[in-house]
Amino acid sequence: MCTVSVKVNEAVLRGIRPELNTTAAIRQWVQQQIDLRIQQMELEEEGTTTIEEAREVTHRAVNREYALDHDMTPEQLYEVISEEIDDIYANG
User: Distance between CA 92 and CA 82 in Å, rounded?
Assistant: 15
Residue pair 60/88 in contact (Cβ under 8 Å)? The answer is no
pLDDT in tens, 31-76: 888 888 888 887 777 666 677 777 787 777 777 766 655 666 777 7
User: Distance between CA 62 and CA 69 in Å, rounded?
Assistant: 12
| pLDDT reading at 19 higher than 80 | yes
Mean pLDDT of the chain: 79
Residue pair 40/92 in contact (Cβ under 8 Å)? The answer is yes
